[in-house]
Structure 1
């Protein structure tokens, strides 16, 4: 099945509200658990970069899991950033800086980061190299990279089955968005080719019937700040 693009940004208020209120507890917790395992449970105390933060749920989970950390969280949707700023709990709000801006042109506060992560951004991008080149631009030797995203199913029937299984009880608008996102996602082979083109040596692993986990460390001097 060929890729079918969906809009890069979620800007409709009803769409944003439905997405923000959806139950992503299992995949988002899985993301943080895998991230923690990848950095060997170290007590990260640097500044992380969250690309495509949406309504800020994963940024908040990360900030709660790593109380010594700070996060710069970026999204191109003004509605998403507004929601994130309004809904972020006070106990982590002071450590998260939400930044409105489109990749790759957004101006970030730092030249590089010790940790760059992203969840469910890649499939929104018309050009996937935007993500990989931004990662390269804001990395340095030792930067940890953690990406999780959807995988495109083999056919329309499989896409409908995934929607029924994982979003069957969600509002119609969320079911539609999930379906469109599945059709816009990439395959494992496509992601591996993207990374080869970007000259990024990252591990690509299918971790569920709908998710891919991409991880690695930018080569060079290893950071000792986390231990």
Structure 2
């Protein structure tokens, strides 16, 4: 997504509620597992767009390093501008221009997140194989995306409910995103193919999927005996 009009529209849109909900979900999953993120931990945001979630991660876990990756130069430029405006040091929040899979941080990540990335990928395994490359010894992964509606009528209803008053570019992209999104069973099949079938997949509300769980040992590209 590198069209200047798209970048401008997404940067201006208000996703605060859903972005904060993702951060709260991460915190809840950490607490349920008795884990904490702190100094020395690296948090990775894949498909970061203009950096909304990346900034929230940096603020919520101020002693961690956040590395955010996107394949669109215009999005990275917008994210860098937002970072400077927010006064967050580059040492704490670093943006990387790269397609997936990204190999720049092998076996170091303690948290890997993405929001509305999966449906943009022609090959979903670029995301799932990337998790295995990036994840450290014990890494929480949390991914949210749209799910494909079961019918054309359901598609129309979702568009009317959520983007009827949005700019035309967002209306068009939202419809296309819903059409390109995956179902719960399709994502489960992708995870089985990637040997990540232990990750949990659930439907949220009337339009989302959430994938979460922990990658450890050989599932993170490490020898199981060293876990």
Q: Among 161, 165, 177, which residue is 1:165 paired with?
A: 161
Q: Which runs of 4+ in 1 moved over 2 A?
A: 91-94, 109-112
2:138 equivalent in structure 1: 142
In 1, distance between residues paired with 2:207 and 2:12?
Answer: 21
Task: Kindly indicate whether residue 6 of structure 2 is the aligned counterpart of residue 11 of structure 1.
Answer: no
Q: Distance in 2 between matches of 1:142 and 1:56?
A: 25
Secondary structure in 2 aligned to 1:153? coil
User: 2 CA distance for matches of 1:67 and 1:170?
Assistant: 33
CA offsets 1:66-106 (integer angstroms, 9 cap, x no match): 111111100000000000001121135541110001112x3
Residue 52 (structure 1) aligned with residue 33 (structure 2) = no
Compute the displacement of 1:111 (Å): 3.9
* Residue 75 (1) aligns with residue 70 (2): yes
| TM-score for the superposition, normalised by structure 2 | 0.88
Question: Residue by residue, what CA displacement relative to the aligned partner does 1:188-224 show, whole Å, maximum 9, x if unpaired?
Answer: 0000000011110200011111111111111349xxx
1:164-188 Cα deviation digits (max 9, x unpaired):
1111221011011111000000000
Determine which structure has greater relative contact order: mean sequence separation of CA pairs < 8 Å that are 6+ residues apart, divided by chain length: 1
- Bigger proportion of residues as strand: 2
Residue aligning to 1:225? none
* Residue 14 of structure 2: aligned partner: 23
Aligned length, in residue pairs: 211
Structure 1, unmatched stretches of 5+, are 1-9, 222-227
Alpha-carbon distance between aligned partners in 2 of 1:74 and 1:37, rounded to the nearest angstrom: 24
Calculate the aligned-residue CA RMSD, in Å: 1.6
The 5 A counterparts of 1:83-98 are 83-88=78-83, 89-91=86-88, 93-98=90-95
